Amino acid sequence: MYSLPSQAMRPLSLSPCLTRSSYLRFRILSSLSLPPIFHNSQTRLSFSKNYTRPHLFIRNCTSITAKPSSEFNRNRTQDAPDEKLRALRELFSRPGVNIDAYIIPSQDAHQSEFIAECYMRRAYISGFTGSAGTAVVTKDKAALWTDGRYFLQAEKQLSSSWILMRSGNHGVPTTFEWLNDVLAPGGRVGIDPFLFSSDAAEELKEAIAKKNHELVYLYDLNLVDVIWKESRPKPPNKPIRVHALKYAGLDVASKLSSLRSDLVDAGSSAIVISMLDEIAWLLNLRGSDVPHSPVMYAYLIVEMDRAKLFVDDSKVTPDVMDHLKNAGVELRPYNSILSEIKSLAAQGAQLWLDPSSVNAAIMNTYEIAIEKYLTSNNNKKSKTKMHTDTTGQSGGPAGVFRTSPIAFSKAVKNSAELEGMLNSHLRY
């Protein structure tokens, strides 16, 4: 913890000569007790008969006031203009962008809190390296929200170009409230839709709409990546490995079979999985893309008769390739996920999507593609009465939006997993 140069933060001090008006007087005990170290020692402490007991005084606690930690940096020298912020703001007026504010969250495209270095965009633009936080940049302001774990760290790392928003403290606005306050009505707020869950993007959209602001999805470029340029770290490419059956306890084919039963029960024809831990568990694979986490960057789509893993194939070893083929899993390029979503929607697939984890780019792509599919079919059958369900609504494909069933399946540990959990705590 950083030291705080404030008198108010120092311990209560003792003094032998302080006035009654400022302090409470306490007399020491009538007899002094020696600490145990002296009881059996030949060395004795002796006191004069004329010894006068001292008086101890302690400050009155009511006179102490604690300053907010932000005041300690109030008099710091003004930093030089932030070149990263200047470069970022220049992109706001680029054709195809045209925004008034840009939000940079901490997460990657899979909503992970702990991420690979190449995806640490919020840390790059702000200088704040804590694991949680959200940066918001307008044309003339920049603010960062973080929680109580990181207040002191953020104060130290943020330059004077940034406003620190202490999330959870009384009177601190949310990102939505702040944007509604600082932007003129009718502003355009840009985000990278890959970095927001569908739920989070919808919440943001509804909140800023109160001031007639528009949420703008910038699919084709991340503005921070544009200014990061060549100094941006390369994506991780360490090899994926197979998680042995003796540790997994259940083979991939059995897990996929169970998942497909869930799809049938939900009336879905396929599921899109984006959470990295769910993919690793379902396919009995482990990776090293994120420090201290055995996961690899990938998406997975499981249909009734096939499965497709979207991953950088340079990380796929021959052993992993054989493992996936045996389970009926095909490989696809990591960045082709949106084109596959469009393709499935064009076939009328009813995708299971978890809006709390699937990013807004995937969700929005599916919804637009399904709308096109339905419009096209309606035009072809304009003279034919469409089937209606019991609610009176037109029949046709629609997404199944609910929590991923894998979260529940992997929470129920089999005997091999339980044994592994116990063995992991043993020390030899």
- Domains of the chain from N-terminus onward: 83-231 (3.40.350.10), 241-379+395-426 (3.40.350.10)
What are the structure tokens assigned to 275, written together?
């959470």
- In angstroms, the CA 189 to CA 179 distance is 9
Task: Report yes or no: 66 and 155 within 8 Å, Cβ to Cβ.
Answer: no
Residue 392 confidence (pLDDT): 36
Q: Give the model's pLDDT for residue 99.
A: 98
**How many of the other CB atoms lie within 10 Å of CB of 281?**
21
State residue 359 phi and psi, 5-degree precision.
-70, 160
**pLDDT of the residue at 399:** 87
pLDDT of the residue at 71: 52
The pLDDT score that the predictor gives to residue 393 is: 39
Which H or E element spans position 242?
Answer: strand 241-242
Per-residue model confidence as pLDDT tens digits over 33-80: 444 434 444 444 444 445 454 444 444 544 444 444 445 454 455 666
Alpha carbon distance 243, 386 (integer Å): 49
Mean pLDDT, 10 residues at a time, the chain of 428 residues: 40 40 41 42 44 47 46 55 93 96 97 95 96 96 96 96 95 96 97 98 97 96 96 95 96 97 96 98 97 96 97 97 97 97 95 97 96 81 40 58 94 93 89
What is the pLDDT at residue 79?
66
Query: Are 160 and 142 in contact, with CB atoms under 8 Å apart?
Result: no
